[in-house]
Homo-oligomer: A and B are copies of this chain.
Amino acid sequence: MFEIPKKPYGKLDLISADDHIIEPADVWTKRAPTKLKEKAPKIVVGADGVEMWKVEDRATPNIGLSAMAGKSFEEYTAKAQNYRDMRLGCYDPKARVADMDLDGVKTQVCFPTVPSLGGENFFSINDPELRDWAIATYNDWVVEEFQPTAPGRLIGLGILPLYNPQMAVKELNRIVKRGVKAVSIPCYLEGAKDCKSFVDPWYDLVWSACEEMDIAINLHISSAKRGGSEFLKNPLPGTAESYITSAPLSNFQILSDIIWTGMLHRHPKLKVVSSEGGIGWVPYFLERADYTYNRHRYWTKSQLTQKPSEYFHRQCYVAFISDAAGVACRHMIGIDNLLWESDYPHTDTTWPYSHKSVEQSLPGVPEHERRKIVFENSQRIYHLN
Contacts and interface: CB of A to CB of B under 8 A. Distances in A.
A263 to B, nearest CB: 9
A260 B231 contact: no
A324 B329 CA distance: 10
A238 B253 contact: no
Nearest to A284: B280
Q: Which of A241, A253, A280, A297 has the most CB of B within 10 A?
A: A241
A25 to B, nearest CB: 26
A98 B303 CA distance: 38
A116 interface: no
Given A261-B242, A298-B73, A190 B280 contact: no
Contacts of A77: 299
For chain A, what secondary structure do more than half of its interface residues adopt (helix, strand, loop), or is it mixed? helix
Interface string A56-81: 00000000000000000111111000
A370 B292 CA distance: 25
Interface residues of A, number: 74
Contacts of A295: 73, 76, 347-348
A323 B289 CA distance: 12
Contact of A238 (B245, B248, B262, B325): B262
A252 interface: yes
A212 interface: no
A288 B278 contact: yes
A262 B287 contact: no
A287 B325 contact: yes
Interface stretch (A87-95, A221-229, A375-383): A221-229
A29 interface: no
Contacts of A322: 291
Nearest to A265: B238
A253 to B, nearest CB: 5
A261 B302 CA distance: 40
A34 interface: no
Interface string A317-342: 00000111110110010000000000
A285 interface: yes
Interface in A219-249: 226-231, 234, 236-242, 244-246, 248-249
Contacts of A73: 294-296, 298
A73 B293 CA distance: 10
Given A236-B197, A261-B236, A288-B278, A242 B231 contact: no
A281 interface: yes
Given A253-B249, A288-B248, A296 B347 contact: yes
5 contacts: A191-B230, A281-B281, A283-B324, A284-B323, A325-B332
| The 5 nearest A-B residue pairs measured at CB | A280-B284, A283-B325, A227-B227, A238-B260, A238-B261
Given A78-B299, A241-B297, 12 more contacts: A73-B295, A75-B298, A199-B236, A226-B231, A242-B253, A280-B285, A280-B287, A281-B284, A283-B325, A287-B325, A295-B347, A296-B347
